[in-house]
Amino acid sequence: MYFPLLRGKQFELIALKEFAGAHPENKWICPIIEPVRVMQPSHIKSSLMKAAEVLSQNRIPYSIILNPERGDYAITSNRFSVADFLCMFNELENRPIPAFFAGGKCNEVKNAIVENGLEDVMVVFEDSFDIEEADELCSNKSVSYIVCADADSRSNLRYLMRTGKKIIRLDDKFIVRKPNTEYRGRDEDSYTEEFFYYKEDRFYGFSDYCVLPKEFSEGGGTPTAIAIHMTYRKKEDSIWVRHFVSDEAYDTQNIRNKFGSAAKHLEVFYNTVEPTAAVRWMIENRGKYPGLGVLKKVTMLNHLELISNILSTTE
């Protein structure tokens, strides 16, 4: 099972809604969403709440981080009561799996689980994993899932497998190059083999950042080049990410033409590779620059569809 770890910005949430609507009752994808925008109880539904409703209606499992630390929640005063936050999901037929970032805050998470009477909890170690610090939390009977970014360490892996929990490995796979012109001459990068090997390695699932940078960014600014990043199955056991970059220009003018240039490279490549629905949309709309947010959304949709298609035929 694939557990993409996403920051809950507008276009990430739109991608999840569109994926859920097109793939109801999908049992191979379970997004982990970190809220990054303040969500107050009100008559106006937030983007996160709308996404949760669509995921719930289409019976797609999902998890929400209850101690977010990026975006609006980087400001301590914006952080919320777990109980009040979870109340907003009470009317949904399928509620989120409660999740917490646990690295360096295991005691806080353990206390939150007890205080709120939570069950079937997911704990996420996004960076390092300290067995001594994490042991009491990971042994907690209310914890069902452990997402770990340091699962390749032999001692960590042996410990994790002994817990009897559902262990999910977390990898940071996308190679970030700045500016986008740095992708020129680097047509593609290896992305992942985990869809093929994670069960053999005794993991319950695998996780990454869905062809997006791990580091949170508010975005903004006009790029000097348009780069479209699309994953595809290059070999039986590996997925690669292909970079389609607009032709040489070093100013911020003519963004529409730059998008058309990058999209043309994409179209040529997919003459020999089976496209997903997201890629087909990109080709059909190559004459219209949709904006960077929509490009991000389509990149995510392509990857979610690709992984879902692979897992549906191999599991």
The pLDDT-based confidence of 224 (bands split at 50, 70, 90) is: confident
Who has greater pLDDT, 255 or 57?
Answer: 57
Mean of the pLDDT values across residues 221-245?
92
User: Does residue 1 register a pLDDT over 90?
Assistant: yes
- Largest Cα separation within the chain, whole Å, is 57
Average pLDDT, the chain: 93
The pLDDT-based confidence of 42 (bands split at 50, 70, 90) is: low
**Measured CA distances, 246 to 120, 138, 182, 184, 281 (Å):** 46, 47, 11, 9, 18
Q: Which of 194, 178, 186, 290 is nearest to 242 (CA)?
A: 186
User: Does residue 220 register a pLDDT over 70?
Assistant: no
Q: What is the pLDDT of residue 101?
A: 98
Mean of the pLDDT values across residues 202-211?
97
Residue-wise pLDDT tens digits, 113-124: 999 999 999 999
Q: What is the pLDDT of residue 250?
A: 65
Mean of the pLDDT values across residues 144-171?
96
Q: What is the pLDDT of residue 36?
A: 94
Cα dihedral 300, 303, 305, 311, rounded to 10, equals -140
User: Does residue 58 register a pLDDT over 70?
Assistant: yes
User: Does residue 43 register a pLDDT over 60?
Assistant: no
User: Does residue 172 register a pLDDT over 80?
Assistant: yes
Cα R_g (the chain), whole angstroms? 20
Residue-wise pLDDT tens digits, 130-155: 999 999 999 999 999 999 999 989 99
What is the token pair recorded at 31? 């997004």
User: Does residue 94 register a pLDDT over 60?
Assistant: yes
Q: What is the pLDDT of residue 287?
A: 83
The pLDDT-based confidence of 303 (bands split at 50, 70, 90) is: very high
User: Does residue 218 register a pLDDT over 90?
Assistant: no
Q: Which of 91, 197, 92, 205 is nearest to 148 (CA)?
A: 205
Q: Which of 197, 193, 32, 27 is nearest to 125 (CA)?
A: 32
State how far Cα 216 lies from the chain centre.
Answer: 12
In percent, the amount of the chain with pLDDT more than 90 equals: 83
